[in-house]
Each structure stands twice: as structure tokens, then as C-alpha cells.
A and B are shown apart, each in its own frame.
Chain A
Amino acid sequence: MQEAEPDRIETQEYLVNMGPQHPSTHGVLRLLLKLEGEIVHHVDPHIGYIHSGIEKMCESLTYPQIPYLTDRMDYLSAHMNEEVVCLCIENALGVEVPDRVKYIRTIFSELQRLASHQLWWCVMGMDLGALTTFFYGLRDREKILDIFEETCGARLTLHYSIPGGLMFDIHPNFQKRVHDFLNYFRKKLPEYDQLLTGNVIFQERTRGIGIFPKEAVINYGVTGPSGRASGFSCDVRKHLPYSAYPFVSFQEALDDRGDTLARYQVRIKEMWESMSIIEQLIDNIPEGDVQVKMKGVVKLPEGEYFQRVESARGDFGVFIISDGKKSPYRLKFRSPGFSNLSALHAMSKGWKIADLVAIMSSLDLVIPDIDR
């Protein structure tokens, strides 16, 4: 046996479990970290702790029953999830929904995006040790949830879009409430910057952390605000407009730095854009029906159908294979969270554990969206 040199400390890689009950993994995501000291060498995400078999369950549901289930996947952008299934079914049947439905769906999507980004903002602050942000974000989110509750009776799992239109017409108070909210939130959003964005601790922990180049973003399929922060123009609302997005003008929030701070600022910019989109639509909702007359039993013609929308986390797609029966033969969701998570190990390689928390927070993961 040879003695180790006394002036050299031997280090070795070791494995640590982060989660599934870790507060900063936002649910039940288990990360197996390969560490050397405090430096992350590899991140191995283990998913499946909240797998609920939604894709499989959809195969035994009829088409009008599917949208209610999709609310439970990415519960923070529930309306976009319903909308994508409804759009796919409508396209397959060749049903053209009235303009009123398109406008209301777009307003709801943007309100949902605002609510989602507000919650992301408060959780991002909380993950980095600023608990105060949590209360301010939820305070403003409550106003949006009240708007939802008044019009469609639910706060989180809305089930507002159904194939062929909407569940109800908008509530008479809807437009007034949305105006009130926009006036209120225009004053409150600068507060977010004052409270967190300018904070020296927050800046130090996010600037230059987890830089992810554009090529890697495209290779890993990272979409949504996380992809746009690296300069990858991937907004489905802009490139493949659906619903009422062709009627509005808005800027795609882009950044080319690709670090955690850029991902943060892209989302703050998106909140401003969402407010401007709602403002353009809210006073111009056309009159008309909110429901196209559909058959009692909806049957899609045999074939394969695909539809994408921009959810709050990125490019959300649904792929339906129909064999002509009243329920789909196979239904597949392309969820943005899954692809964004797949890039986590490349983003966090070489950074410390504390930076991993910041990077993961900036990806805005929702675990049921990943597990489905």
C-alpha cells in the first residue's frame, strides 16, 4: 500500500437525490445529481411520480369529453390545453367557429398566460430566497382567477372551450372586469421590477448563469420563453397564427443572451405584450353565437390530425389518430415542459447547486405537464 500524498485532497464524484419532495422542484420531480463538491457534473431527471395516464385515458373518452381532462396536465395554462384539442377537432371536422368564439378564446388564453407568468414570477422569487414576491404575485393572480370564476365557474381547471365553441357566453361583467384588471395591473407590473428585477442579490444569482446557445436550444427543442431568451424565434402565435391572433399586432419577446436573467426578462416582456393583446381585443368582441351546432355523437373522419398552440411554457401540440369511431385511436401530446426539462442537464453542467435551482426555476416547469 502506498500512502496518499499529504498535500493533495482526493475528491470524487458522488450522487445526491434532489426531490421528489424538494420544494424547488415544483412538485414531484426527482433529480439525480452527480456532484463534485458543490459543482454539478450531471443532472438526471427521473419523472413519472405524478404520471396519470392522461393520453391513455383519452382513448376511452369521447371527443367532447377530452378537453376537460387536458386541464389537468398543465394546470397553469389550462385554457390553452383545452383550446388545442378543440382546434384540432374543429379542423378535422371542418367546422368554422364564429369570430366571437375566436376573440374570447384568445382573450382567455392571454389572461391565462398572464396568470401563469405571475405565478412563475412569485415562485422564481421564492426559489431564490425572496418569499415576499410570492404574496405580491398571488395577489394579482387572484384578480384573473376571479374573472375566470365569474365567466366559467371555475378558477383553475376551467373547461371553458368545448369542440365547436364555448361552454357559456361571457358574463355581462366580463369586459368591465378585464378593463379594471388591466388598469390595475399596469400599475402593479413596474412594482415587480422594483421588487425583484433590480435587486442586487437576484441580479448576481441570475446574470450570466446557465447560458444556453441558440443552436443547443434548437437541438433540444426548447420552446416558449425559455427558447426565445436564446434568440430562437419560435412563437406559434406569430408563425402559425390561430384563433384571433391574425387580427392583433404584437411583438415577439426575444433576447439573445440566453442566460437565466434573459429568460426572466422575456417573460416580463411577455406580460406586457399579453396586456396589449387583450386591450386590442376586449372592446371589439363581435356579436354572435358562442356555439356551433355539433352532432350528438362527434366522430372524426379517419386520419391523422395535428394542431399546435403557444401555451405559457412553449409550443404545445396535440396529435390525434382517428379510426372513425367516437373516441380517438391514439392521442399524443407534445408538451413543452418535457422538452425544456431535457435541456436541463446541458444548461446546468458546471454550475453550482444553487445555480441549478435558479436555472430550473427560469425554465418554469410544471410536472403534470411533463408526466401526463
Chain B
Amino acid sequence: MSAIWKYISDVLKGIWTLIQGMRITGYYFFRPRLIVTQQYPENRRTLEMFERFRGEVTMPHNENNEHRCTGCGICEISCPNGSIEIITATVLLPDGKKKRIIDKHIYHLGMCSLCNLCVKNCPSDAIVMAQTFEHAVWDRTQLTKVLNRPGSKIMEGVKE
């Protein structure tokens, strides 16, 4: 007899535990404001990433098309993946001295793991992380970027 009672009480207890779980599901079912899903990509216009978000490496230029990069190559050395290539050129200054300037700052986004070491180690704060995150392109050659703009030159007063 007791076995039957145990069986019945087990069944009832089991149903009770299931109802406990269903209560939570029901609670959220009737409270749609607690839904946390982001409606991406519909919210693209209003979506803002955090200011420190590491999206890709960029080189900021001012309105005179000037950047702060001296071409020292520390970012190239500190990169663990070899995703930065620095190509420098030598120019002759009016006073006859030779000066090394940056020709191309090549950045391979496809090889970058966004570890922030280049930005951290840059002595002249020339490169920063941008907050972009939609990096998909049709062809992988588009992932290789030249960060300094054509015709740009180094800003006045950057220590070398």
C-alpha cells in the first residue's frame, strides 16, 4: 500500500517541480519589457559601442590631413601576428639633412587579433582603436588597408 502512495506522491511532486519551472517561463512570457534581445541590424542607427571597444586600428588625421606617425616601427615589432607593415621613405630637408618619414602604414585587418598591443606601445599616440565592427567584405584583399591617407604629412611638434 505504501508503495502506491509513494508512487502517487512522487508523481505529484514531479508535476509540482515542473510547474515551478513553468512559472518562470510564464512570468517572462507575460512581461515583454524584460526581453533583452537587441534588434540588430534594425537598430544600426542608434547602436553605439563602448568607447574602448576594439574594432580595428585606425590612424586619426586632422583637418589639414596631418597625422602623428613618425614611422618608428614599434607597432610593427610589438604585433604578435605580423599584421602591421611599416614602409618608410627618406626625404631631404631644406637644410640638407636626411629625414625618415612614413611612406605607408599597411595594416592587415584579416590577420589582426585586436590585442591592442600596437596602440598601447605607440610612443606618439598615432594609432587608435576604432569602434567599427562590421568588417565583412567580398574580397580578402580589401582587408589590407593603408592607414595614412595619401598626401598626408606628420603633424608639427610630434617628438621623434
Contact string against B for A residues 169-201, beta-carbon threshold 8 Å, 1 for contact and 0 otherwise? 001000000000000000000010011101111
Residues of A within 8 A of B129 (CB): 153
Residues of B within 8 A of A149 (CB): 49-50, 52-53
Q: Which of B17, B25, B78 contacts A64 (CB 8 A)?
A: B78
CA distance A198 to B24 in the complex (A): 13
B54 adjacent to chain A (CB < 8 Å): yes
Contact check, B50 vs A198: say whether CB atoms are below 8 A apart.
no
- Closest beta carbon of chain A to B111's beta carbon, Å: 13
Classify chain B's interface size.
20 to 34
B14 adjacent to chain A (CB < 8 Å): yes
Residues of A within 8 A of B120 (CB): 162, 167
Contact check, A150 vs B21: say whether CB atoms are below 8 A apart.
no
B158 adjacent to chain A (CB < 8 Å): no
Contact check, B52 vs A150: say whether CB atoms are below 8 A apart.
yes
Q: Quick one: given A64-B117, A196-B21, are A69 and B80 in contact (CB under 8 Å)?
A: yes
Q: Quick one: given A149-B53, A151-B52, are A159 and B116 in contact (CB under 8 Å)?
A: yes
Contact check, A65 vs B117: say whether CB atoms are below 8 A apart.
yes
- Could you count the A-B residue pairs with CB atoms below 8 Å apart for me: how many are there? 65
Q: Quick one: given A65-B80, A199-B18, A199-B21, are A153 and B50 in contact (CB under 8 Å)?
A: yes
CA distance A119 to B57 in the complex (A): 31
Which residues of chain B from 4 to 48 have any CB-CB distance to chain A below 8 Å in the complex?
13-14, 17-18, 20-21, 23-25, 36
Contact check, B116 vs A153: say whether CB atoms are below 8 A apart.
yes
Contact check, B25 vs A132: say whether CB atoms are below 8 A apart.
yes
Contact check, B21 vs A195: say whether CB atoms are below 8 A apart.
yes
Contact string against B for A residues 57-83, beta-carbon threshold 8 Å, 1 for contact and 0 otherwise? 000010011001100000000000000
Would you list 11 pairs from A and B whose C-beta atoms are within 8 A, ordered by A residue? A65-B117, A153-B53, A153-B129, A159-B115, A162-B120, A167-B120, A194-B23, A196-B21, A198-B21, A199-B18, A199-B20
Given contacts A150-B52, A194-B21, A199-B20, 17 further A-B contacts (CB under 8 A): A61-B80, A64-B117, A68-B115, A132-B21, A136-B24, A139-B36, A146-B50, A149-B52, A149-B53, A153-B50, A153-B129, A159-B115, A194-B23, A194-B24, A199-B17, A199-B18, A200-B13
Name B's A-contacting residues (CB within 8 A): 13-14, 17-18, 20-21, 23-25, 36, 49-50, 52-54, 78, 80, 113-117, 120, 129
